[in-house]
Amino acid sequence: MSGPDLPLDDEGLVRLQKLLAASGVASRRKCEELMLAGEVQVDGEVVTRLGTKVDPAAARILVSGRRLPPVSPHVYLVLNKPRGVVSTMSDPQARRTLGDLVADRPERLFHVGRLDTDTSGLILLTNDGDFAQQVAHPSFEVDKTYVAEVDGEVFPRTIKQLLEGVTLDDGPVQVRQAKVIAGRHGRNQPGRSVVELVIHEGRNRIVRRLLEHVGHPVRQLTRTSIGPVRLAGLRTGEIRELSAGELGDLLELAAL
């Protein structure tokens, strides 16, 4: 996501309203109105003077409270990882990897965090090493949503147990949200349920271990969102770029 192609002055600066308009915020006139209304901040300061110049690659710009991503040569991608794909860019055992799915991309990409080989769903890829490291760091407590098909019928008491907190061998787990979204309980077949969990944990196989701990081993697991980024509409194995809004929100959450 390189951002708009802007004519810069000799110091590498551009007029703020021109940057906002070129970034798709609104028309030039509307961007000027937003500035005059005090809706635009640059590096923590409200900017109302029309003609103010900024560095489009370095300035931290907020418009009506939403972060505008900097102009950058980096790319930020969303992948719907299939089951059976290893969350590495290469593998000495010749297993299918994330790298195989983006082999046609010219960039040297990093994966942001991991998904178990047998877990499908949303994973981020980028050639921005600082972004990848910061967003994957344990201190980056962004909510991640998972949908799991599990054995057995999940009753309200189990949901309550999850929300009250569960302690595993490597420490407690805080579940932000939990609900049953489907169930299949026929007379002549064992019960199965589909549950949705929201957590910010990133420990190894945390969702599988959590659900097994409360008596419901996982049969299938998919990550459907990371913070503001949603999987909806992205088919298995497909890739898309983060929208400017998604990237801006992630940059703010990660304090980048």
Helix (H) or strand (E) holding 130: helix 129-136
Q: Which of 5, 116, 128, 169 is catalytic?
A: 116
Q: Please confirm, yes or no, whether 9 is among the known catalytic residues.
A: no
3-class secondary-structure state, position 29: helix
Joined tokens for residue 68 = 């505008």
Instruction: Give Dmax over CA atoms of the chain in angstroms.
Output: 76
Alpha carbon distances (Å) from 1 to 55, 70, 182, 203, 241: 17, 10, 38, 30, 7
Reported in sequence order, the residue ranges of the chain that DSSP labels E, i.e. its strands, are: 14-15, 40-42, 45-46, 53-54, 61-63, 66-68, 76-81, 110-112, 120-126, 144-151, 166-168, 171-173, 175-184, 192-199, 218-226, 229-230, 239-241
Q: What is the dihedral of CA 217, 143, 110, 131, to 10 degrees?
A: -160
d(CA 124, CA 110): 8
Joined tokens for residue 48 = 């109302």
Joined tokens for residue 176 = 């932000």
Catalytic positions, written as ranges = 116
